[in-house]
Amino acid sequence: MRKLRYILVDVFTDRAFGGNPLAVFPDGQGITNAEMQALAKELNLSETTFVLPAEQAEHDYKLRIFTPALELPMAGHPTLGTGFVLAHEGMTKLAEGETRITLEEKVGPIPVSFQARSGLVESIEMQQPLPSFGERFERREVITEMLSLSLTDLDETLPLEIVSCGVPFLFVPLKSLEAVKRVSFKRDIHDRELSESEAMGVFVFARGGETEGATVHSRMFGPKFGIAEDPATGAASGPLGAYLTRHNVVDTRHEEVEIISEQGFEMGRPSFVRIRIAHQGQEITRVRVGGQCYYMGEGTFTLE
């Protein structure tokens, strides 16, 4: 019999029952591909991760990320949450101030940095691949039908556009916080109209938020991931920041833009994602996404 230990953390929050929950198996050696997928499906969280030895000597660990339906090439809250667990378990030694590690993911090496005080992680941040801007979706009436909205709810000054920093999302700008909260996602229309699209999720947002300091209020729907709605989506937050910067939704007078995306409020899991976009004019030169994590507990699976 094998005992497989996992740790549960909430990511993009500083308190219990907020943010996005994540299960991390700190020792993924000996777990088969099929078992990883089955364990992720059994836990039924938006993502589950498995830590393995790095394949390159200059890196720290290899990371595999699974939703209940499939393996991902990269994801935000699993990367940050796993980094937090590595520090919590003593698998990464923290220096006072900043500590940096590199995790191997399917998109390539992902730098992760910690801010720590007295041996405790205060915040954690990852660098994402530079963005690619994909196709624009012109059939706006299809999107509004899928979201149970009207055409007047869309922000007509901005495009419906696919952006990726490793995982592509369709970004849908809305005019108001009220419209974002009113969204009711219709899976059947998504499957009919977007099943062939490269976009893995549909990300809706409006400027402002429920909390002071929020830049945008966001929601993400991910049926292709096997997720109805996600309380915090790090992989979409880098592309979100790139979209907001490219289209001058935020103040771009400085060489680095800082954005706070609040998400998960409609699910009762408030999440706060900090996005930093460095740019030179229209060229984006660095994408970083970060936040806080909260340790929730641990458990084991027993497998023959």
Q: What is the pLDDT of residues 75-100, one digit of tens each?
A: 999 999 999 999 999 999 988 889 99
Judgement on whether residues 46 and 149 belong to the same structural domain of the protein: no
Q: How far is CA 106 from CA 45, 115, 199, 256, 285, in A?
A: 20, 25, 18, 27, 21
Judgement on whether residues 88 and 154 belong to the same structural domain of the protein: no
Q: How far is CA 301 from CA 24, 68, 71, 178, in A?
A: 12, 16, 20, 42
**CATH label of the domain that carries residue 22:** 3.10.310.10
Judgement on whether residues 256 and 183 belong to the same structural domain of the protein: yes
Judgement on whether residues 147 and 245 belong to the same structural domain of the protein: yes
Judgement on whether residues 117 and 207 belong to the same structural domain of the protein: no
104 a catalytic residue = no
Q: Stretch 120-129: mean pLDDT, rounded?
A: 94
Judgement on whether residues 224 and 141 belong to the same structural domain of the protein: yes
Residue-level pLDDT at 119: 83
Residue 129 has pLDDT above 90, yes or no: yes
Say which residue, 118 or 54, is predicted with more confidence. 54
Confidence of residue 172 (pLDDT cuts 50, 70, 90): very high
Residue 282 has pLDDT above 90, yes or no: no
Residue 101 has pLDDT above 90, yes or no: yes
Judgement on whether residues 119 and 140 belong to the same structural domain of the protein: no
Q: What is the pLDDT of residues 284-298, one digit of tens each?
A: 999 999 999 999 999
Residue-level pLDDT at 95: 87
Judgement on whether residues 46 and 75 belong to the same structural domain of the protein: yes
Confidence of residue 27 (pLDDT cuts 50, 70, 90): very high
Q: Which of 42, 47, 210, 256 is catalytic?
A: 47
Residue-level pLDDT at 42: 97
**What is the pTM for the complete model shown?**
0.93
Mean pLDDT of the residues in the chain: 96
- Range of the structural domain that residue 162 is part of: 132-291
The CA distance from 259 to 273, in Å, is: 8
Alpha-helical runs (H) found in 109-259? 140-147, 177-182, 187-193, 234-246
Judgement on whether residues 80 and 119 belong to the same structural domain of the protein: yes
Structural domains in the chain (count):
2
Confidence of residue 281 (pLDDT cuts 50, 70, 90): confident
Q: Stretch 31-52: mean pLDDT, rounded?
A: 97
The CA distance from 48 to 134, in Å, is: 28
Judgement on whether residues 38 and 117 belong to the same structural domain of the protein: yes
3-state secondary structure of 216: strand
Residue-level pLDDT at 147: 98
Residue 118 has pLDDT above 90, yes or no: no
Judgement on whether residues 277 and 138 belong to the same structural domain of the protein: yes
Residue 266 has pLDDT above 90, yes or no: yes
Q: Specify the residue for token string 């667990």.
A: 85
Q: Stretch 174-198: mean pLDDT, rounded?
A: 97
Judgement on whether residues 95 and 32 belong to the same structural domain of the protein: yes
Residues 6+ positions from 226 with CB-CB distance below 8 Å: 67, 68, 69, 70
Residue 275 has pLDDT above 90, yes or no: yes
Residue-level pLDDT at 139: 95
